């Protein structure tokens, strides 16, 4: 059942009320001209509000359609996102990282879907854009099951202060989904990425 917008309902109610008022006014005491003009002005404002609301709805629908069409052209390409889950496949997963400054010590921490740390490994930072390949093994050298894992970087300077950093994961775009005016990219990992999110497509 189609729901009638509240603004349209108010507009129709106002129109009925004004028509009824004019139809049943006392001929011996007709509606005051000033009051009538005021009501006409109110009527015009309500009408304009309805038209503007309808225009915004159409614009929103058009923007969503354009967004979906733009997203369709991205299917099959790869996208790099910040701090998303990475997919371990056939015992290997890659991620790129960036630190705000060169650390005195740094390590990456990999967690499973339950949030448990399964691997902590120190590394030498080689500058922005450095890519690290995880061999899919835990701290005991046991190969873990393929699936989704998160990765974070913990780094400190010579004074022992933490250094902010980011991790970037690459995914293949499998399809585009549009739901309630929102367009998302479905990644090969099964995750959805909103089209408005920060990303790098290549």
Domain contains 41: yes
Cβ atoms of residues 162 and 156 within 8 Å: yes
**Cα–Cα distances in Å, from 92 out to 106, 119, 123, 198?**
21, 13, 17, 25
pLDDT on residue 29: 54
Taken in order 16, 22, 24, 25, the sign of the CA dihedral is: positive
- For the sheet containing 147-156, what is the strand order? 86-88, 147-156, 105-111, 117-122
pLDDT on residue 49: 64
Q: Is the pTM of this model over 0.85?
A: no
CATH of the domain at 139: 2.60.40.4070
Domain contains 60: yes
**Cα–Cα distances in Å, from 50 out to 6, 24, 58, 145?**
10, 27, 12, 57
Helix segments in the chain, DSSP class H: 6-23, 33-72
Cβ atoms of residues 118 and 75 within 8 Å: no
Strand, coil or helix: 119: strand
Domain contains 137: yes
Domain contains 194: no
Domain identity same for 39 and 112: no
DSSP state of 24: T
pLDDT on residue 1: 47
pLDDT on residue 2: 46
Domain contains 1: no
Domain contains 163: yes
Domain identity same for 47 and 111: no
Domain identity same for 149 and 103: yes
**Cα–Cα distances in Å, from 44 out to 7, 18, 41, 101, 110?**
13, 12, 5, 61, 62
User: Cα dihedral angle (66, 71, 73, 77), rounded to 10 degrees?
Assistant: 160
pLDDT on residue 199: 81
Domain contains 157: yes
Domain identity same for 61 and 85: no
Q: How many domains does the chain have?
A: 2
Domain identity same for 127 and 162: yes
Domain identity same for 95 and 159: yes
Q: Give the residue ranges of the chain where pLDDT is below 70.
A: 1-15, 17-72
pLDDT on residue 47: 60
Cβ atoms of residues 156 and 163 within 8 Å: yes
Domain identity same for 13 and 57: yes
Domain identity same for 139 and 160: yes
Domain contains 178: no
Domain identity same for 66 and 88: no
Q: Which domain holds residue 99?
A: 81-170
Q: What is d(CA 47, CA 52) in angstroms, rounded to the nearest whole number?
A: 9
């Amino acid at each position: 059942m189609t729901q009638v917008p509240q603004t349209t309902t108010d507009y129709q109610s106002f129109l009925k009320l004004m028509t009824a008022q004019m139809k049943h006014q006392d001929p011996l005491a007709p509606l005051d001209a000033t009051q009538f003009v005021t009501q006409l002005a109110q009527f015009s404002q309500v009408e304009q509000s309805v038209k503007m609301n309808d225009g915004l709805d159409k614009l929103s629908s058009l923007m969503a359609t354009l967004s979906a069409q733009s997203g369709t052209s991205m299917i099959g390409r790869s996208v790099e996102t910040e701090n998303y889950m990475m997919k371990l496949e056939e015992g290997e997963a890659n991620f790129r990282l960036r630190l705000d400054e060169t650390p005195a010590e740094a390590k990456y921490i990999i967690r499973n879907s339950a949030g448990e740390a399964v691997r902590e490994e120190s590394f030498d930072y080689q500058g922005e854009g450095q890519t690290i390949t995880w061999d899919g093994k835990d701290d005991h050298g046991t190969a873990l099951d393929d699936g989704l894992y998160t990765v974070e970087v913990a780094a400190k300077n010579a004074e022992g202060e933490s250094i902010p950093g980011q991790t970037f994961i690459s995914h293949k775009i499998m399809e585009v989904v549009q739901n309630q005016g929102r367009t998302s990219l479905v990644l090969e990992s099964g995750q959805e990425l909103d089209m408005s999110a920060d990303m790098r497509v290549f």
